[in-house]
Amino acid sequence: MTAYEVPKVWQWEEENPSMGGNRPTSGSRFEQKLPVGEAPFQLYSLGTPNGIKITVMLEELKELGVEGADYDLYKINIGDGDQFGSDFVEINPNSKIPALVDQSQSPSLKIFESGSILLYLAEKFGQLIPIDIHGRTETLNWLFWQIGAGPYVGGGFGHFFAYAPEKLKYPIDRFTMETKRQLDLLDQTLAKRPYLAGDTYTIADIAIWSWYGRLAQGKLYEGSYEFLNMDEYTHVLKWANRIAERPGVQKGLAVEYQSLN
C-alpha cells in the first residue's frame, strides 16, 4: 500500500455528483417545500440511531399521557439529498436529521441536533428528566457524553467496519478500541444502577440506547456483535433488552414515515 502524502493545502479531488453526496460546503442545494401537518410537532427525520431518539421520546411522552405531544413525521431520505433542500436547511442549517418544528409556539420554534431536541421536549413537558439538581445534572452528564462519544462509534467504528470501500487495519483497530472502552464504561456504570443517570429512566437512556443499546443487540452493523464480543458486556445487554421492551420504544421504532411528496 502506498503511503498517503499529505499536501500542504487539501483540495477536494473527487467531486460527488449525487445530490446526497458529501461535499466540503454547507447550505441548501435546491429549492424545496416541506409538507406541514396539523400536529403540534413537525418532525423531519429518518430511522437512524439519531433519528429514532426523537420518535421514541415522543412516543414515551404519549405513553405517559402527555397532551400536546402529537406529531407529524416525514421521511428525509439522506441518500437522495432531502436534507439539502431549502426548507430543511432553514430548520437545520447543518443539514442533518432529525429536525423538529414546534408549531404550538408563536412564532413556530425550530430545534435541531438530537440532544437539543430531547432536552427541549423533556423540559417543555417536565418528563424524563429529574427536577432535583443532582439527578438533572447526572442526566445531562450522560446525555452530553453520548453526543460527544457517539461519533467514534458511528463515524469511526461503524464507517470503517461496515461501510468503507476497503478494510483497513489501523482505523478499525483504533475505533474498535475506543468503542469497546465506551462499552466497558457503560457496563461498569450499569453494574451499579439500572439506568444511566440512576434509578430512573431518562432522556440519557433514550439517547444512549439508540446507539449503544442497538449496537449491543447487534442491530447496527452486521457481524459487529461477534466482532466486539458483546457477550462480555452483560449489564449493557440487560439494560438494552429491558429498554427495548418498553411500549414507547417499540412504538417509536415502528412508527410510519410520511413521504415529502
C-alpha cell at 79: 441518500
Q: Are 41-128 and 133-246 the same fold in CATH?
A: no
d(CA 168, CA 191): 34
- From 1.20.140.10, 1.20.58.710, 1.20.1050.10, 1.10.1270.20, which CATH number describes the 133-246 domain? 1.20.1050.10
Helices (H) and strands (E) in the chain, counts: 10, 4
Torsion angle of the four alpha carbons 248, 47, 121, 145, in this order, in degrees rounded to the nearest 10: 100
* pLDDT tens-digit map of 208-254: 999 999 999 999 999 999 999 999 999 999 999 999 999 999 999 99
For the chain, what are the domain ranges? Answer: 41-128, 133-246
**Residue 238 to residues 72, 117, 213, 231, 242: CA-CA distances in angstroms?**
32, 27, 9, 11, 6
CB neighbours of residue 131 within 10 Å: 7
Architecture of the domain spanning 41-128:
3-Layer(aba) Sandwich (3.40)
d(CA 84, CA 96): 9
- Per DSSP, the residues of 6-39 read --SS----S---STTS--S--S--B-------SS
| Run of H or E residues at 244 | helix 234-244
Contact between 260 and 87 under an 8 Å Cβ cutoff? The reply is: no
10-residue mean pLDDT series, the chain (261 residues)? 87 77 92 98 98 98 98 97 97 98 98 98 98 98 98 97 96 98 98 98 98 98 98 98 98 98 91
Whether the model clears a pTM of 0.75, i.e. scores above it, the answer is yes
